[in-house]
Amino acid sequence: TLNSGVFICHGGLFSDDRVSLQDIEKVDRAVEPPSSGILCDILWSDPQEEAGRAPSKRGTGCCFGPDVTERWLRENGLKLLVRSHEMKEDGYDIQHNGRCITIFSAPNYCDQMGNKGAFIRFGHDR
């Protein structure tokens, strides 16, 4: 977490509502990513506009809605989720009532997408 208010990860949130920051801290990161569980979700899950959760079209992780984001942030004392993992035309996307920001830093992804790259900078007030 950044300044105890921002959760930053590659993919997104979890297929289980009970996952906490303490659970994440216990995850062994020095392994090949599994096909399910906390490490899988944090790497491969994506936000969706619909409430609730759905299976991921990618085949791993899950899709999570604005209600999932709001609840997980609140229960873990956080304000914002910052993630990447999805190419965005403008290099970023703000979803879930401003609580989920996707940052994609690779411009012209794979030398063919024509997308912009982006980065995020936090000031002292965050």
Q: What's the pLDDT tens digit per position in 58-76?
A: 999 999 999 999 999 999 9
Establish how many alpha carbons lie within 13 A of residue 113's alpha carbon, considering only the half-sphere containing its beta carbon.
16
Please tell me whether residue 97 adopts helix, strand or coil conformation: helix
The pTM is what? 0.92
Residue 53 lies in a domain: yes
Beta-strand pair 92-95/53-55: unpaired
- Residue 1: the pLDDT is 63
Residue 1 lies in a domain: no
Count of domains for the chain = 1
Ramachandran bin of 11, using left for φ above 0, alpha for ψ from -120 to 50, beta for the remaining angles: alpha
Residue 71 lies in a domain: yes
Residues ≥6 apart with Cβ < 8 Å to 25: none
Q: What is the DSSP string of 14-66?
A: -SSTT--HHHHHTS--SSPPPSSSHHHHHHH-EE-SSSSEEE-TTSSSEEE-H
Whether 126 has a pLDDT exceeding 50, the answer reads no
Residue 117 lies in a domain: no
Residue 19 lies in a domain: yes
Residue 27 lies in a domain: yes
Whether 31 has a pLDDT exceeding 80, the answer reads yes
Structural domain span for residue 100: 6-111
Residue 18 lies in a domain: yes
Residue 14 lies in a domain: yes
